[in-house]
Structure 1
Amino acid sequence: MGKKKILGILISIGLIGSFTWTYINRVNEKNTREVETNRETAVLVQKIGQSSYGDKIKYSGKLSYGEEQKVMSILDSKVVYVGVKEGDYVKKGDIILKFDSSDIDKNLEKVKSNYSEALNKGKESLKKLDGLKDNLKTNEDELKKLKESKEKLESEIKELENSLNNLEEKKDEISIEEYEKLKEEKNKENIKKKSELLKVSAEIKTKEVEILALKKSVEGIDKIDLGALEGNGNNKVYEQMEKLKESYTIKAGIDGKITNLNAFLNEKIENKMLPAVTISNENVLEMKFGVDEEYLSNFKVGDKIEVQIEGDKGKYKDIGIVKKIDKKSDLRTGQYNVYLEIKNNGNYKINDYVSFFLQNNSNVSNDMISKNCIIREGDKTFVYVVKDNIVNKKEVKTGEEGTHKIRIKEGLSTDDLVIEKGKEYVKEGQKVNIVEGEK
């Protein structure tokens, strides 16, 4: 047999052996996987239910500015002055921006001209009014005297009539000649007085008509011409426009840092939804956190709460003061926002993490599970739920957090079996053995 044939046979035997060994290994691996798959992981589960948080409830949030001034842009006006840049510190009253007010300046001149013209007319009307008022006073004084004369005449006529009546009663005591003489004298006097009374009464009527006419003239000038004296409202318009012009100059309303600036010289601010400038007070920071209505009684304005703040500079303990509690719940979360004010000692910055535990006055809830059940992935929260011994992964929304328990607001039902222990050894779709734990 030739050498080439022998070599070929040896190579063939080697290849067959290699393929056979590979096949055996693959079969063994498959069998191993089947054994491992059939070996079910034991997990401890619990149901959502009534339980306590523990001694305290945990609240957390991030720091934000507690005092800010946001100035919106003036519509369709160019920026003609920028006195700051982002990062600058300003004092209350410092001029930050100025917007173009040339259009309002033109309108101010027009209003000022109208005001001056109306004011001159008003002054003329005022002189006329003064004359009318003097005339009115003179006539009112004369009317008063006429009424006094009328009263006097009426009194004298009454006395004469009484005297005539007395004369009639005593006519038998005097002679006929004397009686006739006295009667004639008194009748003449009575007629004279009555004539004077008629004249005075007529003068009173005339005077009253004159006074009424004068009063109407005065009232007319008060309503119309004195309106001109006040510029027919132009002076008020002028004052309002002056105030509007002042608003084109933006001043700092608080001490703080320029944290946002959307204004550029000789350009209009196109996005009217963005503030032209934002000033933030770094010395006063704020933590906002949500509280369910049933636990809102744990907080009141003015409460001092010890908090822990975690940031780039480390962990610190500090005191926060409850400054505000919203009267209405947040439409997005359904919770009531509580605002905690924290003075910045120089160690804190925006978005530092703040947390605290607070003694719970109402310590029981109906939708609690162990914190060991929770799986955090980024900003989402999940749990593993077992149904028919198969693992399913569910996203949930959580609420208040205690020392041992956490509230599940959405995502679970009371029948769900949630994995508490063993969750690190399972994955979705895996078959497991269930060991029930506490509720």
Structure 2
Amino acid sequence: MNKNKEKKWYKSMIFKLSTLVVVIGIVGVFYLNSLQGEEQEVITENNAKPLVEVMEMGRRDLHKKTNLIGHVQSGDTRAVMPQISGEVLEVYVQEGDFVQKGDVLLKIDDTDYKLQSDEARIGLNAARIQLEEARSGASNAQLIEADTSVEQAKKAVEQLEKEYDRITRLYEENFVSIQEYEQVKMQYDNAREQLRLAKAYQETTEEGATEHQIAALESQIDRASLGVELANQMVERTVVRAPIDGQIVSVEAKAGDLIGTTGYAFIIMNEDNMQVSATVPESYINNIYTGQDVVVNVPAAKSTHYDGVINTVGKMPPEGSRAYPIEISLENEDELLRMGMYSSIEMIVESALDTLYVPRKALIMDNEAYYVFVVNEENTVERVKVKTGLSENGYVAITEGLNEGQQVVIEGTNVIEVGDEVKISTPNQESAKARDLDANEVGVVR
């Protein structure tokens, strides 16, 4: 009985052990199959083609820009200086007034200048009479008139000699201009010439005029006419007028002042056309030109920019500087610009027009030379040496080495080598934006 139980127990254990072995075997087979699958998957992944993004070579304009600092000034500011000296009788404007071109600003005493004008007219009339009498012959009355003309001419010389001495002293003290000095000198010389001609006329009336004397009298009339014109100009200059439309920003004269021709009496500023003054480094000065459009930002005036035009490019830098002055004209249509306002200027200093280009990150540097990876028609990678030009805003002009239509790798340059067969991805909008943001990165040789 016990032996039967023992046999049954052995049979049961053998069955259980056999079942366990079979289960372990099945599990082992599945485990080995899974390991082989993972190994195959790894092998498949390792043999996959590298994924790259390319850009088809095209053309565009590249512009290198620089930013400068400037200050707003009036585009047309005039210092008004009298053209003659004398006592100020009245000032008709005050600081802050708006004036138009031709408006009277100031009146200078014209008494002496009117006397000179009258004398010049008298001299002209006398010269005409002398010529007529010389041509027709002299009478007793004419002889008397000739003597009178000489006396009048002597008095005119004496009076103008005093005025000439006075102006000479003022000129030597730099109180009157050389123009005014020369005008008075000319009047004095004319008076002396008239005296000489009056004496010649006196002789002519006594002896009879010759052709030479008549010619001299005709010349005297020409000189006398010029003297009248100059004298009238002097009278007109006693009225000081506004040379431009604008606002009076400074008044330096008042009634009773003795004013000269070497200092200004008023400053007039026209704010319709403003300008920005700035300086340009010597490295860029030969790349800009008058008439060039620029962008000017004046934060204190408005948030949007002004369109400006360069109207002056300096030929010489200020002493101690290597930057050249420029002036940029602005339209002040909104009347928000004021003198002295800070401004920033953006201008193009170099351009590459209709040029082949690549993002900077597509470039690979090797031994101080630049290369790019190009994918050919068989989707195989080639390395091409290129020459670069202008670089701006993450893009670089290509001057040699590439042609339009070639496929240049711009993403994935760090995972490919020459001869690799690659898979080309199609960039979506987000990746294109990221590409532009990262365009400045330059690759390295692998």
Q: TM-score range by the shorter chain?
A: 0.3 to 0.5
- TM score, norm. by length of structure 1: 0.46
- TM score, norm. by length of structure 2: 0.45
Higher relative contact order (CA 8 A, sep 6+): 1
